[in-house]
Amino acid sequence: MPLADSFILIPGRTSKQGVGISEGKFQSGYQEEIHALQMTSHDMQRLGIATGDRVRLISEWGSIEVAVVPSKGDELPVGILFIAYGDLSSRLMGGDTHGSGMPTSKGIDVRLEVMGCPTPKTTG
């Protein structure tokens, strides 16, 4: 069984993601930004996660696999995760908008499973 823990996920805008929209959503800049999950160093250490390790996030409505990067300085509190808005973060939203037209897109309860090291790049 993979190591699992509960977090609150905050998807949000970043300037890199904004730049990536103009460069093209299929370009590497945008794709890398929306695939990076920010986590505090404290939580990374507690769960034995190194930069680039892949984790699975599971919400009530879906699951995604992403690579972990440490959050900058004290930007994130412990127990909170951040990811740039995009295809992946939206997969964790539900279809119900509770009569508002807006799916709950921030403050999503997620379970995190540690998957392990990134796949080594092949050479030659």
Partner 1 sequence: MSDTEDNGLSLKIVRDATCTFCGCVCDDIDLHVQGHKIVEAKRACVLGTAWFLNHEIEDRPSCLVEGQPAPLADGIERAAQILATARYPLIYGLSDTTCESQRVAVSIGDWIGGLVDTTTSVCHGPSGMAFQNVGEVTATLGEVRNRGDMIIFWGSNPAESHPRHFTKYSLMPKGMFLPNGRKDRTCVVVDVRKTKSAKAADIFIPIKPRKDFEALWTLRALAQDLPLDGDLVERETGVAIAVWQDLMVRMKKARYGVIFFGMGLTMTRGKHANSEALLALTRDMNRYTRFVCKPNRGHGNVTGADNVVSWRTGYPFGVNLARGYPRFNPGEYTASDVLARREADAAMIIASDPMANFSQPAREHLASIPYIAFDPKETPTTRHATVAFNVATYGINVPGTVYRMDDVPIPLRPAFESPLPSDFDVLQGIEKRVRELLGIVPAAAGTG
Report, in Å, the least distance between residue 70 CB and partner 1.
Answer: 14
Q: Which of 42, 69, 90, 115 binds partner 1 (CB under 8 A)?
A: 90
Tokens representing 46 are: 């507690």
Closest C-alpha to 70, from 37, 33, 47, 46: 37
Radius of gyration of the chain (CA): 15
Interaction residues for partner 1, span 10-49 (CB under 8 A): 10, 12-15, 18-19, 21-26
Does 66 bind partner 1 (CB under 8 A)? Our answer is: no
Is residue 114 a contact partner of residue 48, using CB atoms and an 8 Å limit? yes
Shortest distance, CB of residue 85 to partner 1, whole angstroms? 7
Answer yes or no whether residue 65 interacts with partner 1 by CB under 8 A.
no
What sign for the dihedral angle of Cα 103, 107, 111, 112?
A: positive
DSSP string, 38-81: EE-HHHHHHHTPPTT-EEEEE-SS-EEEEEEEEPPTTSS-TTEE
Smallest distance from partner 1 to CB 114, Å: 22
Kindly tell me which of 16 and 47 has the beta carbon lying closer to partner 1.
Answer: 16
At its nearest, how many Å lie between partner 1 and the CB of residue 66? 16
Contact residues: partner 1, CB under 8 A: 8, 10, 12-15, 18-19, 21-26, 61-62, 73-77, 80, 82, 85-87, 90-91, 93-107
